[in-house]
Chains A and B, each alone.
Chain A
Amino acid sequence: MAHIPDGVLSNPVLVAGGILAMAGVARGLRELEPVRVPKVAMLSAVMFVASLIHLPAGPASVHLLLNGMAGMVLGWAAFPALLAALLLQAVMFGFGGLLVLGVNTLNMAAPAVLAGLVFRRLWNPAQPRRAALAAALCSGGAVLLTGLMVAGSLAASGREFEAAARLVVLTHLPVMGIEAVFASAAIGLLARVKPEALA
């Protein structure tokens, strides 16, 4: 799960995650034009809400991450967007924690940025249908990568990687599916009616 609570990870992992997340946030804020700020705020709010709403997936209950979609729309600004969303979740609901904020931000924002970069490589304004397909691929991949990074953070703190990875990735298979469909619809629509929002 993307919300690792306090007291689970070891100190070196927390510090490394914090530094990398800070670098990501700094880069995101530096590239952020004031005119794009409302877009970042909106996606931050969307992610804040999406990951608080639990969906029943068979016997398990999961929630959407939507980090892939945020990365495709925001690029590096996904870092500050996710930091704000995760900070509020930690402060208001105790999901995640303040000490692990850096690691959690990194685990969700790094796949988001990567999804954005891959999407720009695949996207061709002349072919809106291809944009939808690329969006599905990138958002599903972002969720998978987040799961693997969560498992990796646990492994780096002395947990068994395989058990954690199997649990996290398996429970997120339905999330990957739902997000792929959702992102391909949303990004596909954007690509057709307002392609400049993605540029």
Chain B
Amino acid sequence: MIRLLVILFTLLLAAPAGAHKLKVFASAEGTDIVGSAYFAGGDKAAGVPGRILGADGSLVAVFATAADGTFRQGVTARMDHIIAVESEDGHAARFTLPAAELPSSLPEGKAAAVSADTAALEAAVARQIRPLREQLDSYEERIRLHDLMGGIGTIFGLFGCWAWLQSRRRGP
């Protein structure tokens, strides 16, 4: 019995967070796409398989998120990239990384006339503001009390309308 409980508990530990909504966030650091996958509310999504697609839908790379939900993948072309993650229990999320975020030294961009200084500066700035952007992105997902209250009110309103229509149809 105890053994069974221990097995169950370890299986639970291995299972990823069962939150509602998977989210993925990515930004460019030099020629790498760096990002993280997490569940709405902030829990990290570890070991989730993902794909990086090109602007035309072609497969660029395949990856799996690390234990802290992050991933890093080098790319070779300057174009829009779509990062798609999908877990086995049916959560899925996408994020589009615009070409403009990737350094212009990559092919398919404008003329590669960027000095090493500019590239280093771009990389440094990208690294600095990444936590901020991640925070903003996850903040959008936070459920606030007034959202909850609004939802409850709407439900009562909907059923109130139904009751009113019904009572009119059936007569006084």
Q: Is the CB–CB distance between B166 and A37 below 8 Å?
A: yes
What chain A residues lie within 8 Å of B152 (beta carbons)?
45, 48-49
**CA separation between A40 and B159, bound complex, in Å?**
8
**In the complex, what's the smallest C-beta–C-beta distance from A83 to chain B, in angstroms?**
10
- Taking a contact as CB atoms closer than 8 A, the residue among B150, B156, B166 that contacts A41 in the complex is B156
Tally of B interface residues using CB under 8 Å = 43
> How far, in whole Å, are A151 and B88 apart by their CA atoms in the complex?
10
Contact A1 B91 (CB under 8 A): yes
What chain A residues lie within 8 Å of B32 (beta carbons)? none
Closest residue to A170 on the B side, CB-wise? Answer: B15
Restricting to B133-172, which residues have a CB under 8 Å from any CB of A? 141, 143, 147-148, 150-152, 154-156, 158-160, 162-163, 166-167, 170
The closest CB in chain A to the CB of B166 belongs to A34
Q: What is the interface of chain A mostly: helix, strand, loop, or mixed? A: helix
CB of A154 to closest CB in B, whole Å: 5
B170: nearest residue on chain A (CB-CB)? A34
Is there an interface contact between A60 and B159, defined as CB atoms closer than 8 Å?
A: no
Nearest A residue (CB) for B157 = A41
Q: Is A173 at the interface (CB under 8 A from chain B)?
A: yes
In the bound complex, residues from chain A placing their C-beta under 8 Å from that of B92 are: 5, 7-8
Q: Which residues of B contact A1 (CB under 8 A)?
A: 18-20, 89-91
What separation, in Å, do the CA atoms of A154 and B87 have in the docked complex? 11
Is A163 an interface residue when CB atoms closer than 8 A count as contact? yes
CB distance from A173 to the nearest CB of B (A): 7
Counting contact residues on chain A (CB < 8 A from B), the size range is 35 or more
Question: Which A residues, 57 to 90, have Cβ-Cβ distances below 8 Å to chain B?
Answer: 57-63, 84-85, 88-89
Chain A residue nearest to B161 in the complex (CB): A37
A12 interfacial by beta-carbon distance below 8 Å: no
Could you say which residues of chain A place their CB within 8 Å of the CB of B88? 159-160, 163-164, 167
A93→B20 CA distance, assembly (Å): 10
CB distance from B170 to the nearest CB of A (A): 7
Tell me whether A171 and B12 are in contact (CB under 8 A): yes
Given contacts A8-B92, A44-B155, A49-B148, contact A63 B20 (CB under 8 A): yes
Q: Across the two chains, which residue of chain B brings its CB closest to A47? A: B155
Contact A173 B159 (CB under 8 A): no
Find out whether the CB atom of B15 lies under 8 angstroms from the CB atom of A60: yes
In the assembled complex, the Cα of A93 lies from the Cα of B86 at a distance in Å of 19
- Determine if B160 and A41 form an interchain contact, defined as CB atoms under 8 angstroms apart: yes
Task: Find out whether the CB atom of B163 lies under 8 angstroms from the CB atom of A38.
Answer: yes
Instruction: Tell me the bound Cα distance from A187 to B88 in angstroms.
Output: 35
A171 touches which of B15, B86, B90 (Cβ 8 Å): B15
Q: Indicate whether A54 reaches chain B with its CB closer than 8 angstroms.
A: yes
A95 contacts partner chain B, Cβ-Cβ < 8 Å: yes
Interface residue B62 (Cβ < 8 Å from any Cβ of A): no
Q: Which residues of A contact B160 (CB under 8 A)?
A: 37, 41
Contact (Cβ within 8 A) A37 B90? no
Chain A neighbourhood of B89, CB < 8 A: 1, 150-151, 154, 163-164, 167-168, 171
Across the A-B interface, give the 7 residue pairs with the lowest CB-CB distance, nearest first: A41-B159, A171-B18, A37-B163, A167-B89, A34-B166, A95-B20, A45-B152
Q: Please give the residue numbers on chain B whose beta carbons come within 8 Å of chain A beta carbons, in ascending order.
A: 8-9, 11-13, 15-22, 39-41, 43, 86-93, 141, 143, 147-148, 150-152, 154-156, 158-160, 162-163, 166-167, 170
A contact residues vs B (CB 8 Å cutoff)? 1, 3-5, 7-8, 29, 32, 34, 37-38, 40-42, 44-45, 48-49, 51-52, 54, 57-63, 84-85, 88-89, 92-96, 150-151, 153-154, 159-160, 163-164, 167-168, 170-174
